[in-house]
Amino acid sequence: MCGIVGAVAQRNIVPVLIEGLRRLEYRGYDSCGVAVLANGEPRRARSVARVADLDDQVRDTRLAGATGIAHTRWATHGAPVTDNAHPIFSRDTLAIVHNGIIENYETLGEVLRGKGYEFVSQTDTEVIAHLIHSLYRGDLFAAVREAVQQLHGAYAIAVLHKDQPHTVVGARQGSPLVVGLGDGENFLASDALALAGSTDRFIFLEEGDVCELKLDGVRIADRDGQPAQRDVRQVAAYGGAVELGPYRHFMQKEIFEQPRAISDTIPQADGFDPSLFGEAAPKVFGKIDSLLILACGTSYYSGLTAKYWLESIAKIPTQVEIASEYRYRDSVPNPNALVVVISQSGETADTLAALKHAQSLGHQHTLSVCNVGTSAMVRQTEFTFLTHAGREIGVASTKAFTTQLVALFVLALTLAKVRGHLSAAQESNYLKQLRHLPAALNSVLALEPQIIAWSEEFSRKENALFLGRGLHYPIALEGALKLKEISYIHAEAYPAGELKHGPLALVTEAMPVVTVAPNDALLEKLKSNIQEVRARGGQLYVFADSDTRIVNAEGLHVIRMPEHYGLLSPILHVVPLQLLAYHTACARGTDVDKPRNLAKSVTVE
Ligand code: HGA
């Protein structure tokens, strides 16, 4: 989603700003722009194409300046057209970039119109620009502090003013913003990654902070306007271009990186000790009586899968809820529950808000499962388990999902051990299974040519059904989500037992029905569901464990999974569904890594 970069320096800062935007491109955006103070005047370039086009523009127009802000926009208010692209100006004196949504923009807009401000964009951001302008009395830092008091909603902003050379003011509430400290120059960005190469010293601003960047230092005020000291952290953000290598898209590369990502995520230790989650976990885990898992999208499906593990192995009651629902409903808090939040980026706005909501209700124990160690989510939870997926560029999550599953499986085993449900023999057996997982995944990846053959068929369809049972129902959900996201084929997933309660009405020869068929206790039930579909002329595409005796027949297409993998089977079964979605999307010619309307880190509500 939106990315912000800002800088004050004694050199032309435009190349640094453009490079920062390039590094944030993977998040997804629909327009971009940059503004600098050039000879004391704000000047800008904006594009509804890629950052490369913006770069051409700034070169052609020789846009240069030592104080600047830049932005990639994922439109929430107003179409992705040039007039709505940031930086947004107020009366040609002030420029702002904004990430987030201002909920009271209509009310504020009316007041500002009454004061004579004209609006030239449809964005909520323009309200902030005019508001700060209306409050400016020669001190930008003070004007921004005053302005943010009036904003409702989420924001990270960076602002410059023509009368304040070598000054950029930033503020955050609900959206991420970091300060990068340089020598005689300072930076702002929504992600430390954007500043790799410029600095490795960062301050992670806290909620409600307002900061002022000058050449010789940075000052910060907290939400009450009091001067605040924040820790400086050394972060070696890897900003190098991620190479595609032999792959066609990042998504394909990331699917094939899963054996490595999983082996990096499996703990090195010889057993499942709570200390894997944090120093204080051994004291706390024994007291936990239930789990509340909060997440969105693919991470929500990893939580749903984990519920089966947690209840069957650790015998601990587990509730899984979509973060954007939980944060707005009345719920009954349980201070003895462990709240688990799951997010690849650790900046997912809805999940962060749900975490905050849980804490405000009195939940004391929180754990994040996250792929970014410096993220807001990791900083705001008591315990953490970091997945080691590495940078995920494709908007459709793949290796982040399977590494989350590994993390949650480790959590289930750890809680099982603490609660006396895991014998030493079981522990070493599970450890063995986990360690063999990367090799097992490699043999699943070898199915790619067979899946490509199916994807040709799928690319001509407009609808698909996905079926799974038990542990594999969330995997069917994830398979349907992957297909929707990148091929734009309408797909729905059902627990196979639900077919006859409604979706069977949709089954015709034109409807492919993808089925996940592991050899587990529900296999015979699943086979009956398969027959129900066949009896109605439906075309079944089944990923079956080799010992299931489900074989190719009229209307029944089977790909055999190389290994039967017990409780860890969801991690293997999701991989062919990722490949099916990927190759179907390729056959349809969509923009696989940047599907329309979607963004990578969902930093707005
Ligand atoms: N609301 C602003 C910024 C949107 C955003 O943060 N996207 O990630 C706009 O629509 O311009």
Q: How far is the CA of 123 from the centre of ligand 1 (A)?
A: 8
**Ligand 1 in reach of 190 Cβ (< 6 A):** no
E strands along 258-412, which residues?
Answer: 290-295, 318-322, 337-343, 365-370, 383-386
Q: Residue 178 is encoded by which pair of tokens?
A: 């970091």
For residue 439, the Cα-to-chain-centroid distance in whole angstroms is 27
**Ligand 1 in reach of 124 Cβ (< 6 A):** yes
Residue 237 has pLDDT above 70, yes or no: no
Residue 159 has pLDDT above 80, yes or no: yes
Domains 250-438 and 448-588 belong to one CATH topology: yes
Q: Residue 404 is encoded by which pair of tokens?
A: 């989350």
* Nearest Cα to Cα of residue 398 among 593, 562, 604: 593
Helix axes 297-312, 473-487, angle to 10 degrees: 170
What is the C-alpha separation between 350 and 322, in angstroms, rounded? 9
Question: Is 3-234 CATH 3.40.50.300?
Answer: no
Spatial neighbors of 231 by CB under 8 A, at least 6 apart, are: 203
Phi-psi region of 346 (alpha: psi -120 to 50; beta: other; left: phi over 0): left
What is the C-alpha separation between 95 and 79, in angstroms, rounded? 20
HEC per residue, 475-509: HHHHHHHHHHHHHCCEEEEEEHHHHHHCHHHHCCC
Residue 600 has pLDDT above 80, yes or no: no
| CA-based torsion, 466, 453, 563, 411: positive or negative | negative
| CB 274, CB 281: distance < 8 Å | yes
What is the C-alpha separation between 381 and 371, in angstroms, rounded? 14
E strands along 222-354, which residues?
Answer: 233-234, 290-295, 318-322, 337-343
pLDDT in tens, 12-23: 999 999 999 998
Which one of 89, 101, 350 would you pick to mutate in the ligand 1 pocket, going by the greatest count of ligand atoms within 8 A of its CB? 101
How close are the terminal C-alpha atoms of the chain, in Å? 11
**What is the mean predicted confidence (pLDDT) over 517-525?**
85
Spatial neighbors of 396 by CB under 8 A, at least 6 apart, are: 251, 482, 485, 486, 581, 592, 595
Look at residue 284 in the predicted model and tell me its pLDDT. 97
Question: What is the identity of the amino acid at 581?
Answer: A
Least confident of 24-28, 208-212, 432-436, 439-443: 24-28
**pTM value?**
0.82
**Ligand 1 in reach of 604 Cβ (< 6 A):** yes
pLDDT in tens, 239-288: 555 778 889 999 999 999 999 999 999 999 989 999 999 999 999 999 99
* pLDDT class of 216 with cuts at 50, 70, 90: very high
For residue 433, the Cα-to-chain-centroid distance in whole angstroms is 29
Share of residues in the chain with pLDDT > 70 (%): 99
Q: Is 502 exposed, middle or buried (0-12, 13-18, 19+ CB in 10 A)?
A: exposed
Give whole-number Cα distances, 568 to 138, 203, 388, 413, 471, in Å: 62, 40, 18, 12, 9
Residue 603 has pLDDT above 80, yes or no: no
Active site residues: 2, 600
Which one of 86, 97, 120, 124 would you pick to mutate in the ligand 1 pocket, going by the greatest count of ligand atoms within 8 A of its CB? 124
What is the C-alpha separation between 590 and 483, in angstroms, rounded? 12
Q: Residue 298 is encoded by which pair of tokens?
A: 């693919």
**What is the mean predicted confidence (pLDDT) over 366-384?**
95
Q: How many residues does the chain have?
A: 605
* pLDDT class of 238 with cuts at 50, 70, 90: low
> Is the model more confident about 603 or about 215?
215
**How is domain 250-438 classified at the architecture level of CATH?**
3-Layer(aba) Sandwich (3.40)
pLDDT in tens, 105-154: 999 999 999 999 999 999 999 999 999 999 999 999 999 999 999 999 98
Residue 463 has pLDDT above 60, yes or no: yes
**Ligand 1 in reach of 123 Cβ (< 6 A):** yes
Q: According to CATH, what is the number of the domain 448-588? A: 3.40.50.10490
Look at residue 436 in the predicted model and tell me its pLDDT. 94
What is the C-alpha separation between 279 and 277, in angstroms, rounded? 7
| CB 34, CB 68: distance < 8 Å | yes
What is the C-alpha separation between 382 and 501, in angstroms, rounded? 43
What is the C-alpha separation between 128 and 117, in angstroms, rounded? 12
| CB 187, CB 5: distance < 8 Å | yes
**The residue to which tokens 């309408």 are assigned:** 490
Give whole-number Cα distances, 594 to 142, 307, 458, in Å: 39, 31, 20
Q: Where are the domains of the chain?
A: 3-234, 250-438, 448-588
Q: For ligand 1, what atom is nearest to the CA of residue 100?
A: 6
Look at residue 239 in the predicted model and tell me its pLDDT. 56
